[in-house]
């Protein structure tokens, strides 16, 4: 991939990751990427992803995980000649419209223009005077009307209206802030399968197989997404729930992208020992007639 086709402020990623004290291994595990792919994103290198589209998706997920605004690290695109010509033509048309409007204004007598301006000014003053009182009013729910009546009847000496309105304003502000906070929460990170282009972290085979190499079995300890591709190029992606068991059939060797910390993987009757960073696993088949060394 040519860096000239995809420019961004890549130094922000490593700086923010180190600021949050997150290791490369943890980033790779959380994003289900290879460590080399994470390094490629942090240094704007030319490997790790099959197409610029997959690199762009991985970069968005990385920014989402670090809570970085994606638009801040992407520079604004330079407008093309066609866009510049369009803007210039729009400016010319607006200038023509302005000149035609000014010419029509010159034809109107000055005393008529003065009368129109006075009428507009009177209308604005009346409109502001009507909205001054209405802006301070707060709609009180029906369920709270009885409480307001009880307050006024129990303490007639204290001015209730101003305090009550202030409390209602504070309540409404808090409610609006809660709504904004719920909308601004970061959405869960989407799974990005890059099994076709990523290098394998672990290549596994067993000398004494007990089952045929036509399938593998996985138990997901938590909710996750995985993807796999077999020797025939058959691609499949699964969304697994907590405790779900899956048996995938095909032709070995199998390449699998998963979260090793929440996965139990079995192949040819043996459990595959997964380490923390074994996000990309390849299961190589061994014939059942093979003798142990």
Express each pLDDT in 71-105 by its tens digit: 878 765 444 445 545 555 555 555 566 666 666 76
> Under DSSP, is residue 236 helix (H, G, I), strand (E, B) or coil?
strand
In the chain, count H helices and then E strands.
9, 9
Residues 146-168 have pLDDT tens digits of 444 444 444 444 454 555 556 65
Contact (CB, 8 A) for 32 and 38: no
- pLDDT tens, 11-36? 899 999 999 999 999 999 999 999 99
Q: Residues 254-293: pLDDT tens digits? A: 999 999 999 999 999 999 999 988 999 999 999 887 444 4
For the sheet with 235-240, list strands across it. Answer: 202-204, 280-283, 254-257, 224-229, 235-240
Classify residue 226 by burial, with Cβ atoms within 10 Å: 0-12, 13-18, 19+: buried
Higher pLDDT, 169 or 181: 169
User: Using H for helix, E for strand and C for coil, what is the string for 34-59?
Assistant: CHHHHHHHHHCCCCCCCCHHHHHHHH
pLDDT band at 134 (very low <50, low <70, confident <90, very high): very low
């Amino acid at each position: 991939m040519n860096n000239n086709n995809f420019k961004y402020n890549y130094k922000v990623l490593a700086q923010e990751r180190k600021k949050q004290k997150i290791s490369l291994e943890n980033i790779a595990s959380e994003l289900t990427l290879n460590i080399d792919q994470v390094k490629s994103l942090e240094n704007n290198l030319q490997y790790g992803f099959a197409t610029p589209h997959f690199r762009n998706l991985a970069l968005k997920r990385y920014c989402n995980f670090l809570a970085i605004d994606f638009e801040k690290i992407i520079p604004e695109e330079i407008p093309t000649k066609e866009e510049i010509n369009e803007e210039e033509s729009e400016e010319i048309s607006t200038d023509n419209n302005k000149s035609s409007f000014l010419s029509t204004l010159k034809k109107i007598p000055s005393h008529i223009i003065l009368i129109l301006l006075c009428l507009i000014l009177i209308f604005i003053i009346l409109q502001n005077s009507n909205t001054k009182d209405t802006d301070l009013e707060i709609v009180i729910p029906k369920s709270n009307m009885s409480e307001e009546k009880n307050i006024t009847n129990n303490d007639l000496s204290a001015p209730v209206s101003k305090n009550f309105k202030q409390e209602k304003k504070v309540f409404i502000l808090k409610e609006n802030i809660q709504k904004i906070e719920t909308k601004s929460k970061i959405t869960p990170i989407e799974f990005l399968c890059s099994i076709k282009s990523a290098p394998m972290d672990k290549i596994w085979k067993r000398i004494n197989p007990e089952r045929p190499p036509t399938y593998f079995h996985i138990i997901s300890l938590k909710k996750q997404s995985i993807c796999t591709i077999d020797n025939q190029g058959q691609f499949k992606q699964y969304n697994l729930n907590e405790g779900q068991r899956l048996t995938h059939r095909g032709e070995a060797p199998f390449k699998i992208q998963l979260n090793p910390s929440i996965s139990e993987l079995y192949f040819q009757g043996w459990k595959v020992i997964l380490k923390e960073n074994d996000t990309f696993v390849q299961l190589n088949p061994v014939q059942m007639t093979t003798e142990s060394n």
